[in-house]
Structure 1
């Protein structure tokens, strides 16, 4: 019974550990982009993975940084270990205690501290700062790997080699180094793995245009994972598994008596730890590939450049290539996941971005805080292609249209399944109907959730009236037992998979879900909703303002705006680009391009001030915790 129970327990633990990985592997062969729908077996995501410049660049950066930081940290750590070993016991204890602090310290403290240090000394955040940060982070681990081996060495053998005429370096390489080699290799492999896997320190010390796999995967998770990332994660898992198998397959030691040698002779034989050398060599091979790629790309940097900070998956990569070919201006491109992540970076001034694409309320906040530069509209003649209706809407956060140019627009509405809902859907009230209990999806966003509750009662979604906000909070609490889940991008998969009847969703996402499931329909409720506008702006500390205006003007060109629309699927405010859409059903879609009547009922979010934001968050916490 005990053995059976032990096996069941072990099997359960292994299931919890590897079931998610198995799911990820299966999804990497799913031809459908939806996680809830099996579209058949395919290898196209693996093919697409190796053709994705952004992912491959992140992979090469990761390998180059991991190898260089591991190599340098191992060399420094080995030298430091030799010095520490030579110290008196008291000082050795003190130094080892100091060495252990970074290991025990929280990564976020280390990351923020290094970022502030780089900013204070006016370092330009980028590849070099990530490398320095990783070396700093890895050195203690290298020391901890080498020190135990040094303690096991016999000092008398080193002294004997010196007495026999060997120099210090020769004695070290011939006598000491072979004994500590397993510790050195273990330190190298450990630091390489630590660097390969690190996210937090990289996140705080990276600059524009530099991504590692950890930061790239994190950004994908925040905005909705692409199938290519499943393929990448599968390959990473298999690679790590092979390395771990090689590392842990230690050759058995031959019995000294059977070998015909004495115990003393056996001890003198120093065996090369091939179970560590082989994976280290494998790492060296793939890391050099990444390093070569990094050197090549660094060597091709153009003097003329524009640094772009944009939402993830929010521009057609081919558009960037066309811009570079036509203008000779190199685009250094970086992505963010939320306005709230983007804002502190602009506020700190640590990185001088040239072009940024915030949402409406954040543009207002940045403008009011003096973080934006006025546009020279003479350099943006293609602004004439933007629909005047959206320029009018933009005046709610940019009164004179002096700081922003609309890029993508959309609304928030209700996506419903016609096979599950047998009544007209034209009001937010249906989200409070008890007959749809456990089949309603709400946005896991404070402003979006409160916008639904406020508009339902006829209030402004920018309300700061305490009574109105408390009423909205009470309504959301009353609705909570009916809600299946509070979600963000998961609403797409759940609605496609017929897991819910009603969901609050962005209009651009609605078009994608309708393509996957024709039973889905999108509507803007009669009480009105939010119309969001993401626009291009130029930060006040931009160093390439003219190039930034050329970039914005280029994106307003009808053919380019059409390319971006077809890639992103969010509606374009570019009237000339809309006229080029060949599919009439899409060109005239009221889901993507609301009528003037629908637009009249919609509002853009406004920045309400830090105090109001804090109060909204306080009420939202009460809703979620009730």
Structure 2
């Protein structure tokens, strides 16, 4: 589902109709665009209770591309949009979002989340850059596996290096994402997902070639069906895709690889088209520790403002690895044109060859 949740959301719980009054045009309404099934209905109701004088109009989109399309063709009515971190650079370059002037509770964010949204005018990470969004949910790339099929082998998946085991030949599915796949190989070799000069990484190409031979297929949508059917034994998966599956199939498990993994985040960004200079309480609401803890309990993602780390929600049970693993996990950041060209060339030579 392209790194997005299958959790029941507004429409599934009947709140689509409940918000219909908010969706009628109201020039004073706070207009927010988000992905379907990402905002817990309980917290939408909570916002309305905390800000009773602020009318709320939600626009729900199906894909990240839909949100970016709206951003490009937006009208002055939309104040806030949920944008994936992978889209930040393009949004900044095309001047469809504007930097934020004030951010509530900014100091409570870990440096990694601050660095994600602090960028220059080219959309590149820059500690001296402006702040272009507020991260409000995050997740990971995990290894999902069929426990019943793995058990006879006498071992359990622990880390990326396990994907090269001979008994997994043609038993893997990997995301059809070059940075994700090359990144996991870099992690196996003790390198960073954001390595700038991969031509200097010894053994990278042979390891990637071997991994390709292990892999049954590459896909970023509908890839978990093969794991459910037993055609694959291990799947590289986005956390919001696999978490609903874990609730339905007891023979499927998921782990965060112990050497670290890729992180992703969605951010609240402000359209350059809006004429509203206030946030309507929206950023303040999602920055509160209490709301962050509830969000991480009710949804299939975790708030970067989380303070309660006890596993009392589906996302937290799987996505909160031990501290060393979390510290070695990384957000996939934009590369320079020359570095990106190296990744593109390697992917073409290994994955797209005959």
1:53 equivalent in structure 2: 16
Structure 2 contact 226–232 (Cα < 8 Å) conserved: yes
Q: CA–CA distance in 2 between the matches of 1:522 and 1:328?
A: 41
> RMSD of the TM alignment (CA)?
3.8
User: Which of 541, 554, 568 is the matching residue for 2:299?
Assistant: 568
Change (3 A) 1:501 1:407: same
Instruction: Return the structure number with greater relative CO, CA threshold 8 A, min gap 6.
Output: 2
- 1:420 matches 2:149: yes
Deviations 1:455-493 (A, max 9, x none): 222222122325158964553343223212222243443
Q: CA–CA distance in 2 between the matches of 1:617 and 1:315?
A: 35
Change (3 A) 1:320 1:452: same
Structure 1 contact 314–568 (Cα < 8 Å) conserved: yes
1:430 equivalent in structure 2: 162
1:596 equivalent in structure 2: 323
Which residues in structure 2 correspond to 1:296-335 (within 5 Å)?
Answer: 300-317=24-41, 319-324=43-48, 326-335=52-61
2:186 equivalent in structure 1: 454
Which residues in structure 2 correspond to 1:495-506 (within 5 Å)?
Answer: 495-506=227-238
Change (3 A) 1:334 1:585: closer
1:621 Cα deviation after fit: 4.3
1:442 Cα deviation after fit: 0.7
1:395 equivalent in structure 2: 115
Structure 1 contact 305–544 (Cα < 8 Å) conserved: no
1:65 equivalent in structure 2: none
Structure 2 contact 296–315 (Cα < 8 Å) conserved: no
The answer to which structure has the higher strand fraction is 2
1:364 Cα deviation after fit: 4.6
Q: CA–CA distance in 1 between the matches of 2:172 and 2:179?
A: 18
2:210 equivalent in structure 1: 478
Deviations 1:49-82 (A, max 9, x none): 794637x99xxxxxxxxxxxxxxxxxxxxxxxxx
1:304 Cα deviation after fit: 1.0
- 1:537 matches 2:235: no
User: Which of 323, 327, 334 is the matching residue for 1:607?
Assistant: 334
1:604 Cα deviation after fit: 0.9
1:367 Cα deviation after fit: 4.3
**Structure 1: gaps spanning 5 or more residues:** 1-32, 35-44, 58-292
1:504 Cα deviation after fit: 0.8
Q: State the number of aligned residues.
A: 331
Q: CA–CA distance in 1 between the matches of 2:38 and 2:315?
A: 20
Q: CA–CA distance in 1 between the matches of 2:22 and 2:34?
A: 21
Change (3 A) 1:297 1:404: closer
Change (3 A) 1:549 1:403: farther
2:123 equivalent in structure 1: none
Change (3 A) 1:404 1:397: closer
Q: CA–CA distance in 2 between the matches of 1:449 and 1:491?
A: 15
Which residues in structure 2 correspond to 1:58-457 (within 5 Å)?
Answer: 300-317=24-41, 319-324=43-48, 326-338=52-64, 342-343=67-68, 346=71, 348=72, 350-352=74-76, 353-367=78-92, 370-377=95-102, 381=104, 388-389=109-110, 391-398=111-118, 399=127, 402-421=131-150, 422-457=154-189
The answer to which structure has the higher helix fraction is 1
Change (3 A) 1:455 1:514: same
Structure 1 residue matching 2:303: 3-state secondary structure: coil
Structure 2 residue matching 1:490: 3-state secondary structure: coil
Structure 2 residue matching 1:485: 3-state secondary structure: strand
Larger radius of gyration: 1
Structure 1 residue matching 2:246: 3-state secondary structure: helix
1:559 Cα deviation after fit: 5.2
TM-score, normalization by structure 1: 0.46
**Structure 2: gaps spanning 5 or more residues:** 1-5, 119-126
User: Which of 461, 465, 473 is the matching residue for 2:197?
Assistant: 465
TM-score, normalization by structure 2: 0.76
Structure 2 residue matching 1:304: 3-state secondary structure: coil
Change (3 A) 1:570 1:350: closer
